[in-house]
């Protein structure tokens, strides 16, 4: 009986110590590290602020919805595999999955119609979801495809919109952050 009591007491001490270490000290340590200058923006979600308002995140792509789809002034992100940009996740469907092939075909036809081009001119990243489903960037080819429509619907000259695409192209595998680009176009349009 004494041995059982000693083991139970030792178990409770370990539980108490681990609760304090892992339930209190560790979370406070992680929080303290996130307050170090230079890390705070990443810890807070890399929020982009304009005029004191949060307008999005540099790291999470949310496809903008136009108030009037016939006069859509926005550059668009890649599609989300989840259909809900607030959640992250890809699809396990293979390239031979009939449902996926049909989805890609529908997206290709819709984007071709929206941009006024042949379906074959639509870049792959415009119709295929990223692994996370919330990729903030698109290929330069997809951004360039959208330039005429954005220029027409914002009143910004096409050459200026194309220049903004070039200015916002970054990375080893060149990509364009859609939120930053849309903010630049909005500024150029005086909105």
Residue 17 above 90 pLDDT?
Answer: yes
Position 28 pLDDT exceeds 70:
yes
The tens digit of pLDDT for each residue in 32-49 reads: 988 888 777 667 777 888
> Helices (DSSP H) in the chain: which residue ranges?
2-20, 26-34, 40-43, 98-115, 124-127, 140-154, 158-167, 178-188
Q: Are the beta carbons of 41 and 48 closer than 8 angstroms?
A: no
Mean pLDDT, rounded, for 142-149: 97
Of the candidate ranges 22-26, 93-97, 112-116, 162-166, the one whose mean pLDDT is the lowest: 93-97
Tell me the two tokens of residue 182.
Answer: 């849309």
Going by pLDDT thresholds of 50, 70 and 90, the confidence category of residue 22 is very high
Burial of 153 (0-12, 13-18, 19+ CB in 10 A): middle
pLDDT band with cut points at 50, 70 and 90 for residue 24 = very high
Helix axes 178-188, 158-167, angle to 10 degrees: 140
Is the model's pLDDT at 55 over the cut of 70? yes
Question: Which residue in 176, 160, 187, 189 sits closest to 77, CA to CA?
Answer: 176
Alpha-carbon span 96 to 27, nearest angstrom: 44
At residue 3, the 3 state secondary structure works out as: helix
Distance (Å, whole) CA 122 – CA 112:
6
- In angstroms, the CA 191 to CA 181 distance is 14
Please say if the pLDDT value at position 108 is more than 80: yes
What is the rounded distance in angstroms from the CA atom of residue 154 to the CA atom of residue 158?
10
Cα dihedral: 133, 137, 142, 148 (round 10): 120
- What's the predicted TM-score (pTM) here? 0.76
Q: Tokens standing for 165?
A: 């695409």
């Amino acid at each position: 009986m004494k041995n059982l009591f000693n083991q139970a007491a030792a178990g409770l001490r370990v539980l108490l110590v681990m609760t304090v270490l892992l339930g209190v000290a560790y979370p406070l340590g992680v929080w303290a590290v996130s307050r170090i200058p230079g890390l705070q923006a990443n810890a807070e979600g890399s929020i982009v602020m304009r005029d004191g308002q949060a307008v999005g995140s540099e790291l999470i792509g949310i496809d903008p919805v136009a108030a009037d789809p016939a006069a859509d002034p926005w550059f668009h992100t890649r599609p989300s595999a989840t259909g809900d940009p607030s959640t992250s996740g890809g699809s396990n469907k293979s390239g031979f999955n009939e449902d996926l092939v049909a989805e890609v075909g529908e997206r290709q036809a819709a984007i071709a119609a929206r941009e006024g081009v042949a379906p074959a001119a639509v870049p792959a990243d415009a119709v295929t979801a990223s692994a996370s489903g919330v990729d903030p960037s698109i290929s330069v080819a997809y951004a360039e495809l959208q330039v005429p429509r954005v220029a027409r619907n914002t009143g910004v000259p096409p050459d200026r919109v194309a220049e903004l695409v070039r200015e916002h192209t970054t990375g080893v595998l060149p990509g364009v952050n859609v939120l930053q680009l849309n903010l630049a176009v909005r500024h150029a349009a005086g909105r």
